[in-house]
Amino acid sequence: MGQLRRVSACESVVEYIKNGIIDGRLKPGDRLPSEQRLSELLGVSRGTLREAFKKLQLMGVVAVKQGEGTFVTKVSPGAMMRSLSPMLLMDHSSILELIEARKIIEAETASLCCLRASPAEIEEIEAILKAMTECSNLDLEHFDELDIEFHMRLAKAAKNRVLLRILETLRDLLFEQIREVLKDPEGATRACKYHRQIYSALVDRDPKLAKRHMLAHLKNVEDTLVQMLLHEKPIES
Amino acid sequence: MGQLRRVSACESVVEYIKNGIIDGRLKPGDRLPSEQRLSELLGVSRGTLREAFKKLQLMGVVAVKQGEGTFVTKVSPGAMMRSLSPMLLMDHSSILELIEARKIIEAETASLCCLRASPAEIEEIEAILKAMTECSNLDLEHFDELDIEFHMRLAKAAKNRVLLRILETLRDLLFEQIREVLKDPEGATRACKYHRQIYSALVDRDPKLAKRHMLAHLKNVEDTLVQMLLHEKPIES
DNA sequence: AATAATACAATCATCAGATCATTGGAGGAC
DNA sequence: GTCCTCCAATGATCTGATGATTGTATTATT
């Protein structure tokens, strides 16, 4: 009997690593022992260990690099964005739900950002804004990255890791859609304008204004996206 | 050297399954071929296949059941929010961040609920509220379940699957804390009062009022929790 | 005939031992 | 000092096996 819970070996390994980080035995940047050694150490097979790593990878706890090893990830700035989950079998309605969620959360983080951002963080955001402005005229290539970076810095300066994590996930899910919007030079110009307004409110430490501008910005993105979705139906694989 | 991207075998399998769902070859509830057969079919080893399944599992795309097989699950846009909880939930500050996130999101869902809830949904919510009122005097046992049910019905009636999924995750992470608050009879009574106010606003279809009451409710929970955290320090492992 | 107990087959969970591919660094050629 | 080659460490993948769990067909019992 006793089917209460037979913990899988894989899950045990995940817990082991997680606890190691929690109690400080493992720190961000640390390299774990090789698969060979760790599997012997924990008494599980390499296959099981790799499944656990796969899970930890997806949770963003570790990063695996062939030829180098497996590392505890630091909570670094938006360094590794692409690696996360793609997964887009979304219909239009779910895209709209994603955007609605983003509007709600990001409007609030913009507001919190006004209250909590350090001067250094504001400077960093300014630098990104500057790069975006210069970028928008010539190089649309990296504009989308800067756009996302702007939003993520804002969210980070809001000092709430839960909201940040949620926005990171939403960002990944909406990444392709955002790119499409920004491919249009006019869309990029508009985005710049909104970003400047948000930044201005941030400098003035005006939460309500920042919230309003962010909402206007995302509403604009939403409208553009709706237009695009109405005219193009294909969902590229 | 064309190191542009060497797609890993694991990732190929993930794409294969995902595309199968997108183009309708695989439908929710379908059982995939056994690991043995599928690995031969796709030309990868079973270990690789299992790593891919691990990832798909975490993405909420498939469910693996020992002795039965691997099944395609019904996939929702909120499915990806699952991995929010890696190592969070360890110190007090992260609990407060969780509550802050909950305040922001749930206040907005209460508002949306006023705009979108069907009469039938409002009736269901009323029934839960009634049960809570009766319950609070005698049976504190199931009161917490009803409390959570109330909030979840509200979120569901807001008709946004992404926000719903986020709140489900936050609920799981905060569950123990919520229980503690409601153990106090006075806390339960207060909760009832707030719930009635929120429900009243819902009946009147007054989004702003509902939002305000929800915020007041969660602020109260937050305050109670802060008090508790100040007096008890233990962090159970 | 209906029901309970058993045996069996399918399937996932895990293990053990290999080979291939990639990375970083050591050491030599210039 | 700089560049190149080679090699050891490590992850990526493969192969083949055994244990654990589930559903079902079979049998025994009433």
Per DSSP, B32 falls in state P
Subunit contact B97:A165, Cβ cutoff 8 A: no
List all nucleotides in chain D with at least one atom under 7 A from a protein Cβ.
8-17, 19-23
Instruction: Compute the radius of gyration of chain B from its Cα atoms.
Output: 22
Query: What number is the average pLDDT over the span B144-157?
Result: 89
> pLDDT tens digits, residue range B87-99?
444 456 677 888 8
- d(CA B71, CA B62) in angstroms, rounded, equals 5
Nucleotide nearest to B48 (CA to C1'): D13
Instruction: Please report the pLDDT score of residue A96 as a whole number.
Output: 83
Contact A191, A162 (CB under 8 A): no
pLDDT digits (tens, 9 = 90+) for A36-73: 889 988 888 999 999 899 888 877 778 888 888 888 87
Instruction: Check if residue B70 sits with its Cβ under 7 angstroms from strand D.
Output: no
Residue contact A162–B50, C-beta within 8 A: no
Residues A90-118 pLDDT 10s = 456 667 888 899 999 999 999 999 999 99
Amino acid at B202: L
The CATH classification number of B9-75 equals 1.10.10.10
Strand, coil or helix: B148: helix
Q: Going by DSSP bridges, is the β-strand pair A62-65/A69-72 parallel, antiparallel, or unpaired? A: antiparallel
Contact: A87, B61; criterion CB under 8 Å: yes
pLDDT value of residue B216: 96
Q: Which residues touch A15 (CB under 8 Å, ≥6 apart)?
A: none
Contact check, Cβ <8 Å, B84/A166: yes
Identify, with chain letter, the residue nearest to nucleotide C9 (CA–C1'): B67
Q: Which nucleotide is nearest to A46 (CA to C1')?
A: C15
Residues B82-86 have a mean pLDDT of 49
Q: What pairing do the DSSP bridges indicate for beta strands B62-65 and A69-72?
A: unpaired
Lowest mean pLDDT among A55-59, A82-86, A190-194, B211-215: A82-86
Average pLDDT score, chain A:
79
Cβ atoms of A146 and A154 within 8 Å: the answer is: no
- Residues A223, A90: Cα–Cα separation, whole Å: 18
- What's the rounded Cα separation, in Å, for the pair A9 and A49? 9
Residues of B in Cβ contact (< 8 Å) with A58: 55, 58-59, 83
By C-alpha distance, which of B179, B178, B184, B189 is closest to B133? B189
- Please tell me the distance in Å from A165's CA to the nearest CA on chain B: 7
Token code pair at residue B27: 């439908």
Percentage of residues in chain B with pLDDT exceeding 90? Answer: 30
CATH of domain A9-72: 1.10.10.10
Find the mean pLDDT for residues B156-173: 83
Q: Which pLDDT belongs to residue B232? A: 56
Nearest Cα to B173, choosing from B90, B60, B57?
B90
Nucleotide closest to residue A13 (CA–C1')? C14
CATH architecture group of domain A92-231: Up-down Bundle (1.20)
CATH class of B79-231: mainly alpha
Q: Residue ranges of the domains in chain B? A: 9-75, 79-231
Please give, rounded to a whole number of angstroms, the shortest distance from the CA of B166 to a CA of chain A.
Answer: 8
Q: How far apart are CA A227 and CA A222, in angstroms?
A: 9
A188-209 pLDDT, tens digit per residue, is 788 889 999 999 999 999 999 9
- Terminal C-alpha separation, chain A: 46
